[in-house]
Structure 1
Amino acid sequence: MKRVIQTLTVLAVCGTVMATLVVGVGLYNVSAREGHLPGVRWLLHATYKQSVNLRAPEAKMVPEDFQDPDRVALGALHFKTACAFCHALPGQAQSATAHSMEPPPPYITDAVSGWEAEELFWIVNEGVKMTGMPHWPAPGREDEVWSVVAYLNALPDAQAQVALAEEGRERASCTQCHGEDGNSRNSYIPRLDLLTPGQIAEALRQYRDGRRESGIMQEAAGLLSDSQIAAMAQKYGSPKAPQWQGEEAPETETPGALLAQRGNGDVPACTACHGPGRRADAPIAPLLAGQSKAYLEAQLKLWRKGHRGGGERAKLMRKAAQDLTDDEIATLADWYGDLVPP
């Protein structure tokens, strides 16, 4: 027993000396030019893989619409803006800066190889320490993370690779996502031509200032000046939206129509503020008629969870949506999505 104690004491002293040399004296070279000592890279990568495997969500958490082409397209556009600097676009070479990082970020097709969708979700959402891989900027926006993962998961498909590579290296613009006239054809991206210039400008300022969380839109709006925001709002917005909200809704007795127009004991009538048939004394809220079902459903779920930030009206919407069930959200989204604005 005495020999064991002596051995442990010697090891403890050696460990203390080594730690002093490494940390206190700076013996370990942290230069990215030198790389890691033999075995350290393997140790870190093995730790990384096991950590992801342990913490990734279950496969049943993958959304049912995971392979929707519109979701894949949204993820592709954001990847080009925020991720391609390090991982490159399919068919294009990585930059010299990316090659000089330690550890070097894997090429896009190598980065997704060997991972399940739920594991990629964890990596994109949480990031990885000491690799330069950031976490998703907006907590609670799993819907956006899944869009990026949907694109990454589609990369083995040659069409998914070519579709993004053909667009070149330029950053994704407002037009690429929202359409030339603000009438987005992507069901996961809102139509801007149904909003007023004031509503668009306020939303962009909220994204820029971090008052409204979105990993995609905070990236897009983060460097915009007030004058740029004003110009974009005028380009895409329509001052006619409040006028459209005042028009009468088509007569129908569907569950979505009844819930939107009459509400229930816990949920107020949506049409009172959003129209159609908006009451004159109610606040002017964004026009919902004509927005896609997928977008409306996603936004209502964000309101219900408390992850949809914004101005003072955010409190009203959180209260209005907190008692909605998944089925009620779906019926409201179906009804509003089927309405055609003038």
Structure 2
Amino acid sequence: MDRRLKTIAVLCLVIGTGGFLFAWSGLYNVAASAGHWAITRWFLTFGMENSVETQSVGVKVPPLDDLAMVQRGASHYFGGCMSCHGAPGSSRSLIALQMLPAPPYLPEKVEEWSPDELFWIVKHGLKYTGMPAWAAQERDDEVWSVVAFLARLPEMSPEEYRGLAQGEQAGARGTTAGQLQPFSLDARSPDALGQCIRCHGSDGTGRETGAFPRLAGQSVEYLYSALQDYALGLRPSGIMQPIAAELTDEEIRKLAAYYAGIEDAPSVGLRMRIDPDVLRRGETIATEGISVHGIPACASCHGPTTAPRNPRYPLLAGQYASYIAQQLRLWKQGARGDTVSSRIMAAAARNLDEENIEAVSLYYALLRQDQELPDLQLNGDGAGGQSHK
């Protein structure tokens, strides 16, 4: 037995030394243009596929049929993924095709992976490829939006893709950043406003699904601060940080001024069943808080309908309920960053349960700046209508 162990040890030493000398010699061609040996390609693919399958065990897949999720994922894919992986009606870039391994054309390949495996790949990236990890590891919600989009990608037409990814820029209006731009941008980010319009619209109201937050009516100070926090990574977001990080300070100021300067933007319409008791609970939380649970009144910082006393705080009146609710959940999870403001909000949201989050979010969504809370009129089929006082 001792002799066998010694033999094995000697063999390992010889193989290890030989491998080191081979690497030291530089004889192995690491050029991407040289490609892989067939056995090397098989081994790497075999190892990658089995690793993803094993590492994704236990990932719980949420519902992926929410159109707002698909729109968020599509918009990010358009700006961050399409050049490497292609899209309906768009091929991969020539540069991506020279990578080793070349990124797969996802419209044809994405069905080979299950949603839990796609989540793991998008979040963690892949070693020995050009696939990066998600920039904000705290934001599983963003990753799932990309997965929701990828789940629909194989059957998607070029027209549907452009509509999901580009919003109004893909439609008949076809408004370009150059037509709207009240300022010139430097060469570092020549289409900065165009990137904003793709998600938030030229009028700052986002999209009617609530996929992206409403920016119109917010203060310059708040918008500037938010973009700065994204750029510096103080506010985690794998979607916003890559965009904001490319902006100069002057661009951030001008973009903030552009959206803050939009007046009389269309209101956010809601067509849904509304329980008056839920709305009253939301109003109570917003205007009075729940002192027994240590929940302060939102209105003291965010107002119900007038501009907050501190312009660095966002105005919530008319914001999409889904966006407000998601931000509150992120604060509860500790995934909303570590700034002075985020620490204040984390403490305020800590004791909000899901019912209260949904109630206060709905209350604010039904408000319009400088207007009263609308009366709710429930018609025969239970659909919520709105009439302002």
* TM-score (ref. length: structure 2): 0.77
Q: Separation in 1 of the partners of 2:55 and 2:224? A: 39
Query: Cα–Cα, structure 1 residues 24 and 318, in superposed 2: closer, same or farther, change >3 Å?
Result: same
The SS at the match of 1:183 is coil
Q: Separation in 1 of the partners of 2:221 and 2:310? A: 17
Tell me the CA shift for residue 158 of structure 1.
2.6
What 5-or-longer segments of structure 2 have no aligned partner?
A: 171-190, 265-275, 371-389
Q: Separation in 2 of the partners of 1:239 and 1:110? A: 42
Aligned to 1:216: 239
Q: Say yes or no: does 1:267 pair with 2:295.
A: yes
Q: Deviations along 1:150-208, whole A, 9 cap, x unmatched?
A: 1111112234x43235768x896111110111111241211000311111111111111
Query: Cα–Cα, structure 1 residues 162 and 18, in superposed 2: closer, same or farther, change >3 Å?
Result: farther
Aligned to 1:183: 205
Map 1:62-211 onto structure 2 (within 5 A): 62-64=61-63, 66-159=64-157, 161-165=158-162, 173-185=195-207, 186-211=209-234
- Asked whether the 8 Å contact 1:181–1:193 carries over to 2, the reply is yes
- Asked whether the 8 Å contact 2:235–2:336 carries over to 1, the reply is yes
Q: 1:256 aligns with which of 274, 282, 289?
A: 282
Q: Separation in 2 of the partners of 1:150 and 1:337? A: 25
* TM-score (ref. length: structure 1): 0.87
Query: Cα–Cα, structure 1 residues 89 and 277, in superposed 2: closer, same or farther, change >3 Å?
Result: closer
Map 1:227-306 onto structure 2 (within 5 A): 227-238=250-261, 254-264=280-290, 265=292, 266-276=294-304, 285-306=313-334
Query: Cα–Cα, structure 1 residues 163 and 194, in superposed 2: closer, same or farther, change >3 Å?
Result: same
- Asked whether the 8 Å contact 2:87–2:107 carries over to 1, the reply is no
- Asked whether the 8 Å contact 2:305–2:317 carries over to 1, the reply is no
Aligned to 1:45: 45
Tell me the CA shift for residue 22 of structure 1.
3.0
The SS at the match of 1:29 is coil
Tell me the CA shift for residue 301 of structure 1.
0.6
Q: Separation in 2 of the partners of 1:203 and 1:238? A: 16
Q: How many equivalent residue pairs?
A: 329
Aligned to 1:8: 8
Aligned to 1:25: 25
Q: Separation in 2 of the partners of 1:332 and 1:22? A: 65
- Asked whether the 8 Å contact 1:71–1:150 carries over to 2, the reply is yes
Give the stretch that moved more between structures: 206-215 or 4-13. Answer: 4-13
Q: Separation in 2 of the partners of 1:47 and 1:30? A: 20
Q: Aligned-pair RMSD on alpha carbons?
A: 2.7
Q: Which runs of 4+ in 1 moved over 4 A?
A: 165-168, 238-241, 277-284
Q: Separation in 2 of the partners of 1:80 and 1:281? A: 38
Q: Deviations along 1:295-325, whole A, 9 cap, x unmatched?
A: 1111001111121126422211011011211
